[in-house]
Amino acid sequence: MVSERETSGPVELREAVDDEGMRGFVGYNIKRAYIRVQGAAQAALAPFELRVLSFTALSIIGTNPGITPSQLAVLLGMERSNVVAVIDDLMSRDLVSRERLETDRRRFALTMTARGGEVQKAAARAIAEFEGRLVSVLSEEEQATLVRLLNRIEAEGAATKD
Amino acid sequence: MVSERETSGPVELREAVDDEGMRGFVGYNIKRAYIRVQGAAQAALAPFELRVLSFTALSIIGTNPGITPSQLAVLLGMERSNVVAVIDDLMSRDLVSRERLETDRRRFALTMTARGGEVQKAAARAIAEFEGRLVSVLSEEEQATLVRLLNRIEAEGAATKD
DNA sequence: TATTGTTATACTCTATAACTATA
DNA sequence: TATAGTTATAGAGTATAACAATA
């Protein structure tokens, strides 16, 4: 059994360190790139007082008028219970409104307000601009390739899990 | 000014919903793929009672013997203060050990123990297996392309930020 | 009985501020 | 004065369990 230190003598400061050992994991590389893009999105959304999650919820409600909180939870990949606060926040700022379904009074139909549409549109432009500063190091074709490869991994993950 | 609902009459359940409106953002696609791969890594590490962050720290210490907590924090992309608990956990389980630097007694040199090396090796195999179930939908060449494209975005983010 | 929205709660992850010991 | 490690704390993000209203 080897001991914890291979060499003996005084311990010296290691000036150069790196994460090369982790780069073999595809997931690690995805994570690192994700952190950068997430940071850019947060910075872009800050002036609108929106978080990435809130913006995503707002956008999905906008393109899916009448969506219920439960359906939204599935798309956001989170529990129903955690969607409540997101919707409450968007409603309190008049970005989203809701209405009970007459056919099933347990459910609510969510819709984006006119004000919500304006905010969403401006926020989307801001994200595209900030994200573009990073992503534009890739050509349009490379961006399309990247998204296609990522989507295949995501789809396989869904297939494995569900 | 348009009203919140374009159509009038009773609200009906929208059976089909989707997130197509978000797919135009490269970051959204990165995030969704990341969630899948992160989930696979968590599942792979569960038997070892390691979290993704702990495994990453353990691996980096293993390939950078003598690294200090501050240097580790930089590589992990987090604050020094949050590294403390990670190191404490790894040390309490005899996966990592530390020793004060004689040249600067404020700093600690971190090293992986023999036991840590065994656990890291087994955990790395488990992650590679679980991650492989997702990533193997891509050819080796496609995987390399994916990593290369992600790394360029990450590098641009670092350049923009730092 | 089952489902939708909701509340309460806890745990993880992360950032900030302040402390200590060393430099 | 400045830096390394540490502690305390707070804010997001997320999961689980239990409840009321409705089906």
Mean pLDDT, rounded, for B110-132: 97
Note whether A98 and A112 are within 8 A (CB): no
Helix (H) or strand (E) segment spanning residue B9? none
Averaged over B65-80, what is the pLDDT? 97
A35, A75, A153: residue with CB nearest B137: A153
Contacting residues for B62 by C-beta, under 8 A, at least 6 apart: A21, B112, B116, B117, B120
Containing structural domain, residue B74: 26-135
Predicted pLDDT of residue A157: 84
Q: Kind and range of the H or E element at B108?
A: strand B108-112
B72 in Cβ contact with B62 (< 8 Å): no
Q: Is residue B56 part of a domain?
A: yes
Torsion of CA A96, A99, A105, A107, to 10 degrees: -20
Q: For position B161, what pLDDT does the model report?
A: 58
Chain C nucleotides reached by a protein CB under 7 Å: 3-8, 12-18, 21-23
Task: State the pLDDT at residue B160.
Answer: 73
> Is the Cβ–Cβ distance between B154 and B73 less than 8 Å?
no
Within a domain: B159: no
Give the residue nearest to nucleotide C17 (CA to C1'): B81
For residues A75 and A140, what is the distance between their CA atoms, to the nearest angstrom? 27
Residue B102 belongs to some domain of the structure = yes
- C-alpha to C-alpha distances, B93 to B44, B70, B89, B90, nearest whole angstrom: 19, 21, 6, 5
Helix, strand, or coil (residue B5): coil
Ramachandran class of B11: left when φ > 0, alpha when ψ lies in -120 to 50, beta otherwise: beta
DSSP H helix total and E strand total for chain A: 6, 2
Other CB atoms within 10 Å distance of the CB of residue A23: 13
Residue B110 pLDDT > 60, yes or no? Answer: yes
Q: What is the pLDDT of residues A98-116, one digit of tens each?
A: 999 999 999 999 999 999 9
* pLDDT at residue number B6: 52
Q: Provide the CATH number for the domain around residue B33.
A: 1.10.10.10
To the nearest whole percent, how much of chain B has pLDDT over 90?
A: 86
Percent with pLDDT over 70 in chain A: 93
Find the residue closest to D6 using CA and C1' atoms: B81
Strands B96-100, A108-112: pairing is unpaired
Range name among A77-91, A142-156, B7-21, B65-79 with the lowest pLDDT average: B7-21
User: Measuring CA to CA, how many Å separate B113 from each of A52, B27, B84, B106, B145?
Assistant: 40, 38, 18, 22, 35
| B104 burial type by CB count under 10 A (0-12 exposed, 13-18 middle, 19+ buried) | exposed
Stretch B59-67: mean pLDDT? 98
Cite residues whose beta carbon is less than 7 Å from strand D.
A 51-53, 78-79, 81-82, 85, 104-106; B 68-71, 80-84, 87-88, 104, 106-108
Average pLDDT of the residues in B21-44: 97
Q: Determine, yes or no, domain membership for B87.
A: yes
A40 lies in a domain? yes
Closest residue on chain B to A149 (Cα): B146
Residue A68 Cβ < 7 Å to strand C: yes
Domain count, chain A: 1
User: Of chain A residues 75-114, which have a CB less than 8 A from chain B?
Assistant: 75, 77, 97, 99-104, 107, 109, 111-114
- The secondary structure of residue A45, as a DSSP letter, is H
CA dist B52 → A2, A72, A136, B127, B136 (Å): 26, 28, 30, 10, 20
Query: DSSP letter at A77?
Result: T
A3-39: pLDDT as tens digits? 445 555 567 888 899 999 999 999 999 999 999 999 9
What pLDDT, on the 0 to 100 scale, is given for residue A95? 98
| Chain D nucleotides near the protein (CB, 7 A) | 3-8, 12-18, 21-23
Q: Which helix (H) or strand (E) holds A48?
A: none
> In the numeric block, which tokens belong to residue A103?
């056919």
Does the structure show a pLDDT above 80 at B51? yes
Quick check: A70 CB within 7 A of strand C?
Answer: yes
> Would B101 be classed as within a structural domain?
yes
Indicate the SS3 state at residue B158.
Answer: helix
Q: Of B37, B102, B105, which to mutate for an interface test with A (greatest number of A Cβ within 10 Å)?
A: B37
